């Protein structure tokens, strides 16, 4: 390990975090209606005023988390409050069991509801983290209600919106990796801010771990599958059943790694490491560099037309996961992977003139034209979370 290189890397990471946060505070916060705009071009100009509900929750969480890690700053707390208040005032469908919308207009009129419940998950995280720094109990109550809704909707509760399953359940039903994976991450936040109810969060976390390992992790196929049959059977006769998302798997690996550390489960550490290895080795593009977006586990043509693009967030997750495994194993292999991914991000994603990272690159690393920094799915979340966590971990490594 080269300490000086790590120190210089941390300096770059901190400068990127400052630029990223400044970009969103300067360009994304809606001073009139509240909340955050996330459809921003390279320079920070708004190209759509519609608001992503996911991003209101994720932004509320990230600005609260900044306060948790670095100490409360008024501009961070104000941004968190703005997004959380916007969520509460406009983004909850009170006529449908308090399910949250997916998108709303800039002034909060409902646009779209979706069957899956990640809006509830990120609403939960935002309120939980905000409670953790303010102690305002109504936010913990909101978080717990949304947390239970997410759990119940995925454990037999009828959807109050009336949406039917994505496919006809008499023909095909199954399991999606994103459900237990995101719940595992949300549970870790809930346990940290609400330790009195740790047994509940631990029990649900363990079920998530079992679901991921027993159903989705397929070492015999050398991958972790996005979609499987209810009993975990791999369904390889159609494209969705063969889908691998390396970024998802890498993100899942560090969620599992953190759970293994929390419980002292060495077997789970080994599985988490294997999930990372399989995903990174399969996903890294040997021709152009970077992590491919989708793969087919049998190397057949992926259905998604964006399968060979390079998106920001899988690279963020790879930086977190590789550095986390290196921190705890001291295996130089993972430090090498960390720098491999970091070099790619420096060259292709980071935008020194304007701050923040490009969201979407072509396979050759050039930004899609015209380039953008945010969208319905990209806001101040994956990039700053990655930069905060790698900043913390480099400090831990240097102190060890």
What does the pLDDT look like over 46-56, one tens digit per residue? 999 999 999 99
Half-sphere exposure of 278 (CA within 13 A, CB side): 23
What is the rounded CA–CA span in Å between residue 383 and residue 374? 11
Q: Please give the pLDDT value at position 263.
A: 97
pLDDT band, residue 224 (cuts 50/70/90): very high
The residue among 17, 49, 16 whose CA lies nearest residue 35 is: 49
What is the rounded CA–CA span in Å between residue 126 and residue 142? 10
**Radius of gyration of the CA atoms of the chain, in A:** 20
| Token pair for 146 | 């949304």
Contact at 8 Å (CB) between 10 and 338? no
Q: Which residue has the tokens 């789970």?
A: 268
By the 10 Å C-beta count (0-12 exposed, 13-18 middle, 19+ buried), 32 is classed as exposed
Question: What residue ranges in 188-294 does DSSP mark as E strands?
Answer: 217-218, 223-224, 227-228, 243-244
Q: What is the pLDDT of residues 341-372, one digit of tens each?
A: 999 999 999 999 999 999 999 999 999 999 99
Contact at 8 Å (CB) between 219 and 274? yes
The answer, yes or no, to whether residue 165 has pLDDT greater than 80, is: no
Contact at 8 Å (CB) between 178 and 170? no
| Token pair for 151 | 């759990």
Per-residue pLDDT, averaged over 255-259, amounts to 98
The answer, yes or no, to whether residue 167 has pLDDT greater than 90, is: no
Question: What residue ranges in the chain does DSSP mark as E strands?
Answer: 51-52, 92-93, 99-100, 103-104, 110-112, 175-176, 217-218, 223-224, 227-228, 243-244, 295-296, 310-311, 360-361
What is the rounded CA–CA span in Å between residue 362 and residue 239? 22
Q: Please give the pLDDT value at position 350.
A: 98
Collapse the DSSP code of 51 into the 3-class scheme (helix H, G, I; strand E, B; otherwise coil) and give the result. strand
Q: What is the pLDDT of residues 319-341, one digit of tens each?
A: 999 999 999 999 999 999 999 99
Q: What is the pLDDT of residues 172-200, one digit of tens each?
A: 889 999 999 999 999 999 999 999 999 99
Contact at 8 Å (CB) between 387 and 17? yes
Q: How many residues does the chain have?
A: 400
Per-residue pLDDT, averaged over 100-113, amounts to 97
Half-sphere exposure of 36 (CA within 13 A, CB side): 38
Q: What is the 3-state secondary structure (H, E, C) of 320-389?
A: HHHHHHHHHHCCHHHHHHHHHHHHHHHHHHECCCCCCECCEECCCCCECCCCECCCCCCCCCHHHHHHHH
Contact at 8 Å (CB) between 267 and 275? no
Contact at 8 Å (CB) between 366 and 33? no
Q: Please give the pLDDT value at position 163.
A: 81
Contact at 8 Å (CB) between 273 and 331? no
CA distances from 367 to 24, 43, 308, 358 (A): 20, 14, 13, 7
The answer, yes or no, to whether residue 31 has pLDDT greater than 90, is: yes
Q: Which residues of 285-318 are buried (b: 16+ CB within 10 A; e: fewer)?
A: eeebbbbbbbbbbeeeebeeeebbbbbbbbbbbb
The answer, yes or no, to whether residue 318 has pLDDT greater than 90, is: yes
Cβ count near 76 (within 10 Å): 21
């Amino acid at each position: 390990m080269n300490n000086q290189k790590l120190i210089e890397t941390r300096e770059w990471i901190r400068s990127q975090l400052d630029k990223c946060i400044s970009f969103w505070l300067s360009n994304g916060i809606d001073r009139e209606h509240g909340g955050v705009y996330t459809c921003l071009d390279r320079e920070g100009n708004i190209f759509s005023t519609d608001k992503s509900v996911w991003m209101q929750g994720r932004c509320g969480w990230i600005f609260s988390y900044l306060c948790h890690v670095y100490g409360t700053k008024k501009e961070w707390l104000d941004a968190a409050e703005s997004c959380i208040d916007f969520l509460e005032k406009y983004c909850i469908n009170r006529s449908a069991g308090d399910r949250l919308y997916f998108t709303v207009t800039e002034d909060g009129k409902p646009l779209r509801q979706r069957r899956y419940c990640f809006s509830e998950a990120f609403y939960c995280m935002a309120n939980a983290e905000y409670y953790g720094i303010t102690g305002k109990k109504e936010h913990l109550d909101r978080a717990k209600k949304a947390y239970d809704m997410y759990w119940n909707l995925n454990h037999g509760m009828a959807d109050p919106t009336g949406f039917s399953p994505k496919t006809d359940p008499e023909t095909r039903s199954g399991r999606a990796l994103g459900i237990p994976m995101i719940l595992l991450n949300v549970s870790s936040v809930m346990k940290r801010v609400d330790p009195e109810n740790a047994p509940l969060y631990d029990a649900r976390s363990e079920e998530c771990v079992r679901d991921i390992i027993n159903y989705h992790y397929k070492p015999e196929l050398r991958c972790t599958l996005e979609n499987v049959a209810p009993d975990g059977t791999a369904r390889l006769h159609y494209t969705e059943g063969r889908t691998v998302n390396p970024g998802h798997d890498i993100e899942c690996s560090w969620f599992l790694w953190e759970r293994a550390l929390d419980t002292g489960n060495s077997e789970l550490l080994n599985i988490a490491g294997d999930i990372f290895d399989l995903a990174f080795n399969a996903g890294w593009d040997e021709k152009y560099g970077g992590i491919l977006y989708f793969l087919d586990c049998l190397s057949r043509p992926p259905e998604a037309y964006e399968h060979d693009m390079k998106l920001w967030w899988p690279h963020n997750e790879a930086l977190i996961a590789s550095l986390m495994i290196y921190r705890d194993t001291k295996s130089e292999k993972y430090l090498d992977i960390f720098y491999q991914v970091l070099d790619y991000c420096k060259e292709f994603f980071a935008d020194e003139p304007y701050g923040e990272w490009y969201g979407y690159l072509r396979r050759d690393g050039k930004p899609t034209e015209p380039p953008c920094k945010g969208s319905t799915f990209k806001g101040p979340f994956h990039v700053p979370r990655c930069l905060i966590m790698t900043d913390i971990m480099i400090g831990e490594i240097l102190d060890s």
